[in-house]
Structure 1
């Protein structure tokens, strides 16, 4: 373990999600993985000298959570039914909407997702006139 950076977290509530040991005093991480848990003394002994100590200052650590906020269903729906609107400019937006309009799964609507006007050169929302260049027959709807 001497060649890898090791960080020991302590001085707070450390929840393990293990029914047998639901809470520990300290936790050591190396290369993004938990390598030791237990009392601060035991964890220091397990990983050896040179570990960085990080005080949680009374906070709570929940190891194992990478992203507690996910949209699994809408992510799948976007791939099937929606036009990707995370584009650089209005021309690219119109092209993405046109592709979805003419793909092999015709719909009563064209749904755009991931639209963010601040990420576009024009930094504005598309007007009705711009959307009419894509279609005047099929409604176009954006989800942010």
Structure 2
């Protein structure tokens, strides 16, 4: 378990939702890169991946219920017991690994200084490794 994940409380519903969101941001970044490169086939593949990720994200915070009158089932929001601030902090922290995440969610949005320091440390280690590998 990474330092950041541990600081955020480990496997919680909030962290799981934030990870799902960060995964969608990763795909958005890949989609943007495909468009920038003119690689329309790859963009098409990533668009389908984005749709699946967003559907999975939506399923995490909804529930289907049968209509009491026997009609079509309906969907309702069930994420009300989640701590929105914890989701926000974790989402920004996890998003820093991805191109779109860095653009959309600046690191200064993390209020918890220990989490912010751990995210910065992880980014610095990644940068140093890339430099060492020559990339």
Structure having the larger proportion of residues in helix: 2
Q: TM-score range by the shorter chain?
A: under 0.3
TM-score, normalising length: structure 1: 0.23
| Bigger Rg over Cα | 1
Structure having the larger proportion of residues in strand: 1
TM-score, normalising length: structure 2: 0.24
Q: Which has the higher contact order (CA 8 A, sep 6+)?
A: 2
